[in-house]
Structure 1
Amino acid sequence: MKKKLILIDGNSIAYRAFFALPLLNNDKGVHTNAVYGFTMMLMKILEDENPSHVLVAFDAGKTTFRHKTFSEYKGGRQKTPPELSEQFPYIRELLKAYGIYHYELPNYEADDIIGTLSLQGEKEDYEVIVISGDKDLTQLSSNKTTVYITRKGITDIEAYTPEHIKEKYGLTPDRIIDMKGLMGDSSDNIPGVPGVGEKTAIKLLKEFDSLENLLSSVEQVSGKKLKEKLVEFKDQAIMSKELATITREAPLTITLDNTEFPGMQTEQLKPLFKELGFNSLLDKLGVTTEEEDLELDEIDYTFVEEITPDIFADTNILYVEILEDNYHYAPILGLALLNDNGAFYLPLDLVLDSQDFKQWAEDETKEKMVYDAKKSEVSLRHKGIHLKGITFDVLIAAYLADPSATIEDVASVAKSYHYKGVQSDEAFYGKGAKRKVPEAEFLSEHIVRKALSLQAIKEQMEEELKRNDQESLFYDLELPLSLVLADMESTGVKVDTERLKTMGLELTERLKQIEGRIYELAGDTFNINSPKQLGVILFEKLGLPVVKKTKTGYSTSADVLEQLASSHEIIREILEYRQLGKLQSTYIEGLQKVVHNSRIHTRFNQVLTQTGRLSSIDPNLQNIPIRLEEGRKIREAFVPTEEDWVIFAADYSQIELRVLAHIANDERLIEAFKEDHDIHTETAMSVFHVGAEEVTSNMRRHAKAVNFGIVYGISDYGLSQSLHITRKEAAKFIERYLESYPGVKNYMEEVVIEAKQKGYVSTLLQRRRYLPDITSRNFNLRSFAERTAMNTPIQGSAADIIKKAMIEMAKRLEAEGLQAKLLLQVHDELIFEAPADEIEKLKEIVPDVMENAVELSVPLKVDYAYGKTWYDAK
């Protein structure tokens, strides 16, 4: 069988993937979009081409032998965004997992490695395929080498064969470098001949064949100005051709044998894909996480047929088995009880019929250790049983021990504490279509094994909490919070479904009106939601400038339409049509699907983020869009339970900046907050060196972006994207900010030093985030860890404060004997419902509790509002 060699330009494909895909993160906060795109390209090419040999070439550094010829070669290129730099180590790990060799050579570019190996491949009669986003490599095309150039994204490719190059340019592949010599290449800072573009270069080469022939016959060139340019810049053209020429004799220390591809290494890819959060790609691999059969010791337990008081004790382990993620509506498969009286399996029907169980469950004095207190409490409360007396939660303890660890089920936690007496749920129940609940005999044993595993690891967990000084964080914050969240979830929030339906009808009417205007402006009717039909209308019928093309036609993506916004009135209408259409499908219709008995019961994920922030799912009520008025109005449908009640919303003002002022102990920031100055105006004054009266709204907007950007560890690239300015300007903003607030600058330096010493950073309440890459030799990994070290104590402490406020608020409402209930937490905001006659009391106690949740060197400030709906409480 003929050998096939794939040669991939690693840097080029990584860049393409990074800029083609949105900035994705895994659950550890690591950016993954370039790795994901690179993986998609690899999967496609390996599947389509089935190569025998593969190599990925990388650039070794900024300086190459070409810089001796022209010191400004590739000058002016933007510094690689740190969000991309941090992904290169993962791309190399990916290649290692695939069994694909990667190589770089000092003083040479990836192109030169590819050029040299492709020539070796041709000599040994390999079929060679080169993959890049850089058209320079098309010069390597031959009857044995095809060059694939990525177009849109990274999987849409154009194959450059000698025939295709002839058809596209009218040239042979070896004349690509002559074309570059004439037209130059701004991306590589190759100067070429000023004023000569691609069309002129192609025309000249068709007439004179080569750059050398052209320059020796310059008198025959028509056009006085062009002739003068060719004479004046003759040496520059020759140098430009030399710079564009890929060497095919690089002194490689590898041979084609090194590039042999062993085939897909599924087992090596599996842990990496899991770490990166590429679940869809795991499915593509056909990977299951089923374990080999564990050699489990026999266990002794009782399958209870009648619940009697003698099975309970003062100290117990209770495990509630629910297989589905959404425990609000999922069946309870069974329960396990473990104490000094033995191990027991309790079928659900017996539990629900037992007054003894209900009495024991609701007895605060009977201690209960559980796995996932919130899930256990909510699921039983839906059955009419209020679980009380929870004193330990293994799930929360595991999360605090390492917030970056992926917690899949009880077995994954037990395994991390070296206990192997229980199977994973995936191994026991199966996965996907194969998943099923076995007969009671086997099910009962699995559930009891889970309770036994909790017992086995509890002592280790308690010691770890003590060792890490996290006992207060666990017992005083996270554990009581789980029960506050359980109350909130069980209560749910009332939704006026008729109002949602009315909104839907109103939006439908709006969409029809916009649709009519679009048809009128287009002079035709068509499917607005069809990119193909829309592209024809915009770029053929209306003649708007083409921004991007896809393999199926014209691109009509949001970024393309934004660029065309001033070109034609129809664009604004289309953008509004799309925004309102998304509101209609995702929120108006989507929310109606999850209403049960006029209420929505979201779930607050307490053990997901590494900063300690809560997230909301099924549905995500923290993410209802509020930039559009139509989006904000969706909150009109969220109403209090009783007719004469109101919604009361209280919001921390700039809590993360206040936490930053406290942690950094920056005198200027502290003073600004104590004097209740506008912090964004204050920052604008410092950054732009102007007085308060000279601060414009645009200056304040930039200052606000820098203020919050610092909190989130923003880079000059990130800030430039946010403000639509150059990276140089963004870097200057950040530099001036740090000059203005020296305490912040010192904090950022000191927290990194401390993180390198300890291996982790902590919040004010001792929540930890481990940073294994903080001392990495790899610059990119280390830089990302350093930024994380700076922002985690701020974000995490803000999260801790809000959680503390929620707990204290629940206590205060009960102590005051109020009917008011805490319904939702949305980032820095708490949402309540209350009788109208309790509002004056809430106006007094809510700010009091929230502002005094913790003591900082700056005052915490809370704003509040109330009204008949969530929308009115703004």
Structure 2
Amino acid sequence: MTEKKLVLIDGNSLTYKAFFALYTSIDRFTNQDGLHTNAIYGFNRMLDDVLAKQQPTDVLAAFDAGKKTFRNKMYDGYKSGRAKMPDELREQFPFVLDLLKARGIKTYELKNYEADDIIGTTARLADEAGYKVEIITGDRDLTQLCSENVTVNVSKKGVSEIEAYTPEYVEENMGIRPDQIIDIKGLQGDNSDNYPGVEKVGPKTAIKLIKEYESIEGIYQNIDKISGKKLKEHLVNDEEQAYLSKKLATIDVSAPIEIKLSDLQYQGPQSTELIDFYKKMNFKSFLQSMTTENGDSQMGADLPEVEYTTLTADNLSELEALEGEVVFNLELDDENYHQANQLGFVIGNQSNWFVSQDLTLLNEPEIQNLLEDSSVKVDVFDTKAQIIGLRRNGLHLSGINFDLLLVSYLINTLNNEDDIGEVANRQGYYGVLPDEDVYGKGKKFKVPEPDELFQHMVRKALAISSLKEQLLSELEKHQQSELYRKMELPLAAVLAEMEFQGIAVAAATLDELKSKFTEKVDEYQQKIYAEAGTEFNIGSPKQLGKILFEEMGLPAIKKTKTGYSTAVDVLEQLAPNYPIIENILNYRQLTKLISTYLDGIKADIGSDNKVHTRYLQTLTQTGRLSSVDPNLQNIPVRTEEGRKIREAFIPSHKGWKLFSSDYSQIELRVLAAISGDEHMKAAFANDEDIHAVTARKIFELDQDAEVTPDLRRKAKAVNFGIVYGISSYGLAHNTGISNQDAKRFIEKYFIEYPGVKKYMDDSVEFAKEHGYIETISHRRRYIPEINSKRFQQRQFAERIAMNSPIQGSAADIIKAAMIKMQAVLREKGFSAKILLQIHDELILEAPESEIEVLKDLVPKVMDSIMQTDDLLSSAVKNFDVPLKVDSHSGSNWYVIKE
């Protein structure tokens, strides 16, 4: 007969443990509904470890039924000192119960009793029935339960490292028996559970006393033998407390539980329910590792059997079967498609799939005609990657119809993975694995054998094909088909052209700047050493903190777990009074410019003396573009040294110049238009300085009064603070004014611009009702936290609801302008090319002969885009705020911004 093995899980303590083990990563653990999932994830990891190691026949997870138990009747203060459970943890408990059910594990709670009592009682019954019992907990109080057949496993670190308590282990490590643990607790009390014990009796004294007298009862029977006047005095004074504390610490092993041992049989995972649960929680790694009865991957079990034809030069004629519409995917080994190795390609449809690793076949007429014929609809994943990948092979991909990456992102901007397998899995299609599962990652990356590679490539193509109708239908329901067809898909082609073109960089200029900056770094370093009176590693926060706050005695504003905080915001508070701080900030700024920008940009220069940044079209929640490899949008411009880096960016031909056109205050103009505020609209219509206008309003100045630079700066901070949903605290921090003044300025702002206030309130109400907000092009951003019970989370969501439509609509405008600008340049036969998009600015290069024409043409295209773009003009019937564009040109990026 198989030995019965019961695992008892302390649900409350382990959920707490899991939550705090992953607390620093809490923002990474949220699902598509905005639910925090770090505790659920950690708890599940623990379950995996426990079930694999213990191989139980029976399992029970016990939970507390409520805050009040029989112990509270015994002692009012029991557990009263505990901090309130974080809302992010509280919201996860019901889902931990759902997880356990899906994993085939019984759960139980009992009114007026704690999980400990359920576990203690069940352990006793199981022990008496001949079971082997393993208790899994994060609470050492349960170690009193260990016996010959009961082991108490206490998680030490996180939820994975376990310390197993047996009677032998307790005696070896504590010198007492398990049944004496409650006596120790009675003497020393428990701060966590808030019961008192005996004054001045700690663990060492308690153990010594129990070793000598066996129990609390034994101590008081021999009280006259206790040596030490003070100790004896405390014991006598606190005798009642000692007995009470022992009683409170004692787990009830005869609780009136109704659940029977026969109810606890471990059912194993309930596959359908567990898969659904993992999908709901967005637990991709758990989904992929699920196993079926025969040991095959659950994900793998869903992978379709695929047939394919390996293309060679001899069977290209078979491609004639592909007419009208094809799926195409060029397989790459890295996300940077400008440099990635190309592993092969797949082309076909659900009837015929053709694959090959021979990239020369792409230039054969049979394939080239399919890909370059604009009448053939091509379905892909990531238009830019495919266009540029094929451009590297001399082909010009046209006729793109469906882009799985773009459509998935538009449906929900949280769907911003860039892997076909991950995107497909998120959409409920599990017939393809993520690349990492097939190739590995980092040093473990390995291209599989041809058949496995081809199977993976075809499964990717199948995912694109299989999801097409479903996602296009969702897009239609969201009224986003036009956004996809008229903006995002054409924009992808424009971005691909910009990326492929690249921008020229003078490496010698970067080297020259590095030399100058390095000299300055050395100067700052010597000044810092002189002021500190010693040499140390300025880049080490630990060493820097010790020097500043211990050796030099500067006031420590903030401490961390590892020492003193030397974060920028901390140092900036100290800078006005301590010269060394200003030098440290300058030192940090220059070393970052050297490592991140000068060295970073130089490393990305290709053999053509250009950098080819990649624009991430499906990353941000607002629809704005991001730039990587290198990030050209983040080159610092607030300092002269940061701006000087732009000197290295130059035209790619002699006799050419760089040309810049920049939307002026685009977000404020968008705010004026969509809020309809008459005062703000009038300011823009009259071409007034909006920051000066705002300064006069919120600082109650006369119309003719001079607006000082300081007042204008503060008004500007308020204007843009409103756009970004800033709080009064944030505004105070940014401007150096008091929190009270910041609050007053914001309130005054809304009085002076009532249309803005109404728009903000309406946006929040819309988000609360619908769960999302929209831009002028119907780009959606879902905000599930908008109805959160947690005030801080709800407040943050409300700020998103206010500012996302503004930022997103500004992004819509610049995107539409890029598409229109590209079309106009081609239509007029200009040599000028768009090179970069930096926030609200377009940077082109052009022959000097075209510059004068561009000065007139580019602003006209950009400032009229709300009237000339089909999508925007149909979506917004009366955008009656003028857009303003400033243009400049010069021999490098630095001089065009002077």
Moved more, 716-725 or 571-580: 716-725
- State the 1:354 CA deviation: 2.4
Find the counterpart in structure 2 of residue 664 from structure 1. 675
In the TM superposition, 1:337-348 aligns within 5 A as 337-339=347-349, 342-348=352-358
CA distance in 1, matches of 2:470, 2:560: 56
Given that 1:655 and 1:798 are in contact with CA atoms closer than 8 Å, whether structure 2 keeps it comes out as yes
Find the counterpart in structure 1 of residue 890 from structure 2. 867
Find the counterpart in structure 2 of residue 578 from structure 1. 588
Amino acid at match of 1:639: I
Taking a change above 3 Å as real, the CA distance of residues 41 and 694 of structure 1, as seen in their structure-2 partners, is: farther
- State the 1:359 CA deviation: 4.4
- State the 1:56 CA deviation: 12
Find the counterpart in structure 2 of residue 701 from structure 1. 713
CA distance in 1, matches of 2:522, 2:275: 48
CA distance in 2, matches of 1:701, 1:273: 50
Moved more, 413-422 or 469-478: 413-422
Amino acid at match of 1:575: L
Amino acid at match of 1:870: W
Q: Deviations over 1:326-360 (max 9, x none)?
A: 11111122211115983211333342552543344
- State the 1:527 CA deviation: 3.1
Given that 2:788 and 2:794 are in contact with CA atoms closer than 8 Å, whether structure 1 keeps it comes out as yes
- State the 1:428 CA deviation: 3.2
- State the 1:26 CA deviation: 8.0
- Aligned match of 1:334 in 323, 340, 344? 344
Q: Secondary structure at the match of 2:479?
A: coil
Q: Secondary structure at the match of 1:324?
A: coil
Find the counterpart in structure 1 of residue 851 from structure 2. 839
Taking a change above 3 Å as real, the CA distance of residues 536 and 632 of structure 1, as seen in their structure-2 partners, is: same
The answer to whether structure 1 residue 521 and structure 2 residue 531 are counterparts is yes
The answer to whether structure 1 residue 293 and structure 2 residue 301 are counterparts is yes
The answer to whether structure 1 residue 636 and structure 2 residue 647 are counterparts is yes
In the TM superposition, 1:436-447 aligns within 5 A as 436-447=446-457
Taking a change above 3 Å as real, the CA distance of residues 601 and 147 of structure 1, as seen in their structure-2 partners, is: farther
CA distance in 2, matches of 1:4, 1:441: 45
Amino acid at match of 1:861: K
Name the TM-score, length of structure 1 as normaliser. Answer: 0.71
Moved more, 822-831 or 741-750: 741-750
Given that 1:336 and 1:343 are in contact with CA atoms closer than 8 Å, whether structure 2 keeps it comes out as yes
- State the 1:656 CA deviation: 1.2
Find the counterpart in structure 1 of residue 835 from structure 2. 823
The answer to whether structure 1 residue 812 and structure 2 residue 824 are counterparts is yes
CA distance in 1, matches of 2:32, 2:625: 15
Amino acid at match of 1:854: M
Q: Secondary structure at the match of 2:865?
A: coil
Taking a change above 3 Å as real, the CA distance of residues 85 and 352 of structure 1, as seen in their structure-2 partners, is: same
Taking a change above 3 Å as real, the CA distance of residues 89 and 371 of structure 1, as seen in their structure-2 partners, is: same
CA distance in 1, matches of 2:892, 2:374: 36
Amino acid at match of 1:843: K
- Aligned match of 2:433 in 404, 411, 423? 423
- State the 1:822 CA deviation: 0.6
In the TM superposition, 1:183-222 aligns within 5 A as none
Given that 1:662 and 1:858 are in contact with CA atoms closer than 8 Å, whether structure 2 keeps it comes out as yes
CA distance in 2, matches of 1:633, 1:413: 41
Taking a change above 3 Å as real, the CA distance of residues 496 and 458 of structure 1, as seen in their structure-2 partners, is: same
- State the 1:361 CA deviation: 2.7
Given that 1:273 and 1:279 are in contact with CA atoms closer than 8 Å, whether structure 2 keeps it comes out as yes
- State the 1:43 CA deviation: 11
Given that 2:832 and 2:850 are in contact with CA atoms closer than 8 Å, whether structure 1 keeps it comes out as yes
The answer to whether structure 1 residue 787 and structure 2 residue 793 are counterparts is no
CA distance in 2, matches of 1:316, 1:651: 40
Find the counterpart in structure 1 of residue 627 from structure 2. 616
CA distance in 2, matches of 1:142, 1:525: 54
Find the counterpart in structure 1 of residue 684 from structure 2. 673
The answer to whether structure 1 residue 488 and structure 2 residue 498 are counterparts is yes
Name the TM-score, length of structure 2 as normaliser. Answer: 0.69
- State the 1:374 CA deviation: 0.7
Q: Secondary structure at the match of 1:500?
A: helix
Given that 2:775 and 2:809 are in contact with CA atoms closer than 8 Å, whether structure 1 keeps it comes out as yes
- State the 1:804 CA deviation: 0.2
Find the counterpart in structure 2 of residue 765 from structure 1. 777
In the TM superposition, 1:165-244 aligns within 5 A as none
Find the counterpart in structure 1 of residue 874 from structure 2. none
Find the counterpart in structure 1 of residue 579 from structure 2. 569
Given that 2:287 and 2:299 are in contact with CA atoms closer than 8 Å, whether structure 1 keeps it comes out as no
- State the 1:144 CA deviation: 5.1
In the TM superposition, 1:39-54 aligns within 5 A as none
Given that 2:312 and 2:361 are in contact with CA atoms closer than 8 Å, whether structure 1 keeps it comes out as no
Moved more, 704-713 or 267-276: 267-276
- State the 1:630 CA deviation: 0.9
Moved more, 461-470 or 838-847: 461-470
Find the counterpart in structure 2 of residue 399 from structure 1. 409
Find the counterpart in structure 1 of residue 657 from structure 2. 646
Q: Deviations over 1:32-67 (max 9, x none)?
A: 9xx9899999999xx9xxxxx99999x99xxxx9xx
**Matched residue pairs, number?**
745
Amino acid at match of 2:777: L
- State the 1:744 CA deviation: 1.6
Given that 1:670 and 1:858 are in contact with CA atoms closer than 8 Å, whether structure 2 keeps it comes out as yes
Given that 1:318 and 1:369 are in contact with CA atoms closer than 8 Å, whether structure 2 keeps it comes out as yes
Q: Secondary structure at the match of 2:895?
A: coil
The answer to whether structure 1 residue 753 and structure 2 residue 765 are counterparts is yes
Q: Secondary structure at the match of 2:659?
A: strand
- State the 1:273 CA deviation: 11
Amino acid at match of 1:689: E
Moved more, 425-434 or 456-465: 425-434
Amino acid at match of 2:419: D
- State the 1:700 CA deviation: 2.9
Q: Deviations over 1:393-415 (max 9, x none)?
A: 22212221222224353344444
Q: Give the fraction of aligned pairs with identical amino acids, expressed as a percent.
A: 42
Taking a change above 3 Å as real, the CA distance of residues 760 and 544 of structure 1, as seen in their structure-2 partners, is: closer
Given that 2:304 and 2:459 are in contact with CA atoms closer than 8 Å, whether structure 1 keeps it comes out as no
Q: Secondary structure at the match of 1:369?
A: strand
The answer to whether structure 1 residue 374 and structure 2 residue 384 are counterparts is yes
Given that 1:635 and 1:871 are in contact with CA atoms closer than 8 Å, whether structure 2 keeps it comes out as yes
| Structure 1: unaligned runs, 5 residues or longer | 48-52, 66-73, 75-79, 100-116, 132-139, 149-159, 166-205, 211-247, 250-254, 284-288
The answer to whether structure 1 residue 735 and structure 2 residue 743 are counterparts is no
Taking a change above 3 Å as real, the CA distance of residues 543 and 422 of structure 1, as seen in their structure-2 partners, is: closer
Q: Secondary structure at the match of 2:592?
A: helix
Moved more, 547-556 or 401-410: 547-556
The answer to whether structure 1 residue 320 and structure 2 residue 330 are counterparts is yes
Given that 1:666 and 1:741 are in contact with CA atoms closer than 8 Å, whether structure 2 keeps it comes out as yes
CA distance in 2, matches of 1:822, 1:816: 14
Which has the larger Rg? 2
In the TM superposition, 1:441-456 aligns within 5 A as 441-456=451-466
CA distance in 1, matches of 2:62, 2:723: 41
Given that 1:422 and 1:449 are in contact with CA atoms closer than 8 Å, whether structure 2 keeps it comes out as yes
Taking a change above 3 Å as real, the CA distance of residues 699 and 840 of structure 1, as seen in their structure-2 partners, is: same
Q: Deviations over 1:483-532 (max 9, x none)?
A: 00000111111111111111111111111122222233334333333445
Q: Secondary structure at the match of 1:565?
A: helix
Q: Deviations over 1:248-271 (max 9, x none)?
A: 99xxxxx9999xxx9xx9x99999
Amino acid at match of 2:648: A
